[in-house]
Structure 1
Amino acid sequence: MSSPLRILLVSARLDRHARQLLTAFEAQGATASLASLSSIGIDTDKPSGLAIPGFGDALPDAVCVRTMDGGSFEAVTRRLAVLHGLKALGVPVSNDASAIEICTDKSATSFRLKAAGLPSPWVVCAETREAAEAALNRAGGPMVLKPLFGSQGKGLKLVRDPADLPGPEDIAGGVYYLQRFAAKPVGTRWTDYRILVSAGRAVAGMRREAANWITNIKQGATALPMVEPDGELAELAVRAAQAVGADFCGVDLLRDTEGRAQIIEVNSMPAWTGLEQATGLDIAAIRAADLLARLKGDTREPETIASLPRAV
Structure 2
Amino acid sequence: MSLTGWLVFNGSLSSEKFMEQIEWLHREGLQMGMDFTKIPNHELIPAIEDGRAVIKGGYEGILPDFVFFWDKDIRLAYHLEKMGMKLFNSARSIEVCDDKSLTFQELADHGIKMPKTILAPKVFKGLKISGWESYHQIGRELGYPLIIKEVYGSFGAQVYLIENEDQLRSKVTELEDTPYIFQEYIASSFGRDVRLNVVGREVVAAMYRKSETDFRANVTAGGKMYPFTPTKEQKELAVRSAELAGTDFAGVDLLFGEEDEPILCEVNSNAHFKNIYDCTGVDVANKMLEYIANYLKGRMS
TM-score relative to the length of structure 1: 0.83
- For 1:8 and 1:130, locate their aligned partners in 2 and report how far apart those are by CA, in whole Å: 50
- Report the alpha carbon displacement of residue 285 of structure 1 after superposing the two structures with TM: 0.9
Q: CA deviation digits over 1:135-181, x for unaligned, max 9? A: 21122332111111111111221113221112544116343411111
Unaligned runs of 5+ in 2: 122-128
Q: CA deviation digits over 1:251-288, x for unaligned, max 9? A: 10011223221001111111012211221011111111
Unaligned runs of 5+ in 1: 69-78, 299-312
Aligned-pair Cα RMSD in Å = 2.1
Q: CA deviation digits over 1:163-211, x for unaligned, max 9? A: 11125441163434111111426xxx83210011111221111100112
- For 1:59 and 1:135, locate their aligned partners in 2 and report how far apart those are by CA, in whole Å: 49
- Report the alpha carbon displacement of residue 291 of structure 1 after superposing the two structures with TM: 1.0
- For 2:246 and 2:267, locate their aligned partners in 1 and report how far apart those are by CA, in whole Å: 11
- For 1:266 and 1:247, locate their aligned partners in 2 and report how far apart those are by CA, in whole Å: 12
- For 1:172 and 1:150, locate their aligned partners in 2 and report how far apart those are by CA, in whole Å: 16
Q: CA separation of 1:172/1:215 partners in 2, compared to 1, >3 Å: closer, same or farther? A: farther
Which secondary structure does the structure 1 equivalent of 2:204 belong to?
strand
- For 1:176 and 1:137, locate their aligned partners in 2 and report how far apart those are by CA, in whole Å: 18
Q: Which residue of 2 aligns with 1:219?
A: 221
Q: Which residue of 2 aligns with 1:42?
A: 46
Provide the aligned length of Structure 1 versus Structure 2.
Answer: 281
- AA matched with 1:287: M
Contact between 1:168 and 1:175, CA under 8 Å: does it hold in 2?
A: no
Q: CA separation of 1:52/1:244 partners in 2, compared to 1, >3 Å: closer, same or farther? A: farther
Contact between 1:210 and 1:222, CA under 8 Å: does it hold in 2?
A: yes
Please tell me whether residue 123 in structure 1 is matched to residue 117 in structure 2.
yes
- AA matched with 1:141: Y
Please tell me whether residue 96 in structure 1 is matched to residue 100 in structure 2.
no
Q: CA separation of 1:61/1:176 partners in 2, compared to 1, >3 Å: closer, same or farther? A: closer
* Correspondence list, 1:1-312, <5 A: 2=1, 4-12=2-10, 13=13, 15-45=19-49, 49-51=54-56, 53=58, 55-68=59-72, 79-127=73-121, 129-165=132-168, 166=170, 168-171=172-175, 173-184=177-188, 190-211=191-212, 212-226=214-228, 228-297=229-298
Q: CA separation of 1:169/1:36 partners in 2, compared to 1, >3 Å: closer, same or farther? A: farther
Contact between 2:77 and 2:91, CA under 8 Å: does it hold in 1?
A: yes
TM-score relative to the length of structure 2: 0.86
Q: Which residue of 2 aligns with 1:302?
A: none
Q: CA separation of 1:141/1:257 partners in 2, compared to 1, >3 Å: closer, same or farther? A: farther
Q: CA separation of 1:292/1:131 partners in 2, compared to 1, >3 Å: closer, same or farther? A: farther
- AA matched with 2:250: C
Which secondary structure does the structure 2 equivalent of 1:115 belong to?
coil
- Report the alpha carbon displacement of residue 80 of structure 1 after superposing the two structures with TM: 2.1
Contact between 1:48 and 1:57, CA under 8 Å: does it hold in 2?
A: no
- Report the alpha carbon displacement of residue 82 of structure 1 after superposing the two structures with TM: 2.3
- AA matched with 2:56: A
Contact between 1:252 and 1:265, CA under 8 Å: does it hold in 2?
A: yes
- For 2:106 and 2:272, locate their aligned partners in 1 and report how far apart those are by CA, in whole Å: 23
Contact between 1:132 and 1:176, CA under 8 Å: does it hold in 2?
A: no
Contact between 1:66 and 1:269, CA under 8 Å: does it hold in 2?
A: yes
- For 2:266 and 2:230, locate their aligned partners in 1 and report how far apart those are by CA, in whole Å: 20
Runs of 4+, deviation exceeding 6 Å: none
- Report the alpha carbon displacement of residue 32 of structure 1 after superposing the two structures with TM: 1.2
- AA matched with 1:179: Q
- AA matched with 1:225: P
